[in-house]
Amino acid sequence: MIVIKPVGLVAFDPGLSSASGTGWARFHQKLLYAAGVLIPVKGSLEDKLRDLARQAHTATNSTDTVVVEHMRIYPGPRQKGDQNDLIDLAVLEGMILGATNPAGIVLVSARTWKGNVPKDVMGKRILATLSELERETIEGKGKRMHNALDAIGIGLWALGRLR
């Protein structure tokens, strides 16, 4: 586990779908400051990538450490969905890092930060880790809420707070 002690940290869970978007979470001195979902414009893949990179830029500043879920292709039966989608998400990952120009970069695979824990269980763990005040900062509902929670979980993991 990596434990980061930055003043500012922003975590991203990349997603290109307008239904779910890219989750983001901003931490200041180890506390969740704000979280939500960046929703891409409708249009071509290029338009979505540019728009999400622009939005990611506005969510960070040059003194932040940026933590991004790094895409992995798992062998055999652990594969889910179309593996080609991961290529687009990897491009988004790079565009987020390029647009944010962070002071520090951490790439983490889903397996590293959350293991094999089911989404609903991990979501409950993430919420249980947060104070009531921190929970009030989360924007989003439904599937979008899940992506915000994943970004929060990624940030909590990087800060050594995830239980």
In tens digits, the chain (163 residues) has pLDDT values of 555 555 789 999 999 988 889 999 999 989 999 999 999 999 999 999 999 999 999 988 877 899 999 987 777 666 666 777 888 999 999 999 989 888 889 999 999 999 989 989 999 999 999 999 999 988 866 767 889 999 999 999 999 999 7
| pTM beyond 0.75, yes or no | yes
DSSP SS3 for 139? coil
For the chain, the structural domain boundaries read: 8-158
- Fold of the CATH domain 8-158: Nucleotidyltransferase; domain 5 (3.30.420)
Alpha-carbon gap, residue 8 to 139, rounded angstroms: 19
CA distances for 20 relative to 65, 79, 80, 111, angstroms: 24, 20, 17, 20
